[in-house]
Structure 1
């Protein structure tokens, strides 16, 4: 089974991509046009700041995993850049095949190459040991959130 890690492109089936994200969180019903417009906004406003990656099967073009690196331009750390890993999900039928590891290793390398001063992510408690394998560590227990949806 041959797989390919690549940047997300509009040619990828949007419906399939959103179905994969639904395994992580609610994507709510959005149209193809809404998706394309948001992708365009993300890429045109800060082209170095949004990186969406997918792993797909070559034979079927089916997306089996995705993750994103989102970078924030900051004033701190000498006008540095902070990175966040977002929306990591591996299709439930493909888990345990190292796709999450491949995506994380790639994102960590890219973030380092881009010169981010810090790379962080949020995850469920049971996934902490998985992410610690890639160098993530607890940095205090003061993460707070307000949800509006």
Structure 2
């Protein structure tokens, strides 16, 4: 076992590293490592990488940790993964899949992929593809009958290369803006 793998064994991970495809791990550059989100990833730039998607408000480390623990308390539901640059111990890519349990399809489940983000300096290296592959594998191995995601029109070709097909339409209704207050858990 590598020194890096040994150090990862001491991390407080959101879910078991065994759920991440060994094929995906093998396809990453040796300087990179994919694993579940850890309770200390706030300090590894988690929010910085998410900022490639939208404006990210920093809630502070304590609130971030509370969100991590709330996600963990919903067992077998949230599966956020990160790609770490081993030399800097910083996050360079991430994404999540959450499992929705349904009454349809014989009490089936659907995997929802969200928040695929790759550091601007790491784009074009197939990290987004590896994240999608890892999350799709988690979804399928969790028994989901389908895995879905929403994306902008400009990202449709990328997701088609990942094996997804365009189907139906997304609708959204945003809640009215409220003063900054933490959500009730």
Aligned-partner SS, 1:96: coil
Look up the match of 2:25.
Answer: none
Q: Taking structure 1 as the reference length, what is the TM-score of the superposition?
A: 0.92
Deviation at 1:11, TM superposition (A): 2.2
Look up the match of 1:22.
Answer: 51
Deviation at 1:15, TM superposition (A): 6.4
Deviation at 1:19, TM superposition (A): 1.1
Offset from partner CA, 1:58-110 (integer Å, 9 cap, x none): 11111110000111111111111111100000001110011001111111112
Runs of 4+ in 1 over 3 A off after TM superposition: none
**Alpha-carbon distance between aligned partners in 1 of 2:89 and 2:131, rounded to the nearest angstrom:** 17
**Alpha-carbon distance between aligned partners in 1 of 2:81 and 2:121, rounded to the nearest angstrom:** 19
2:157 maps to 1:132: no
Deviation at 1:115, TM superposition (A): 0.9
Look up the match of 1:146.
Answer: 173
Instruction: Name which one, 1 or 2, has greater alpha-carbon Rg.
Output: 2
Alignment coverage as a number of residue pairs: 147
Look up the match of 1:82.
Answer: 110
Q: Taking structure 2 as the reference length, what is the TM-score of the superposition?
A: 0.75
Aligned-partner SS, 1:69: strand
**Alpha-carbon distance between aligned partners in 1 of 2:62 and 2:37, rounded to the nearest angstrom:** 16
Look up the match of 2:139.
Answer: 111
Look up the match of 1:41.
Answer: 70
Structure 1 gap segments, 5+ residues each: none
Aligned-partner SS, 1:33: helix
2:70 maps to 1:69: no
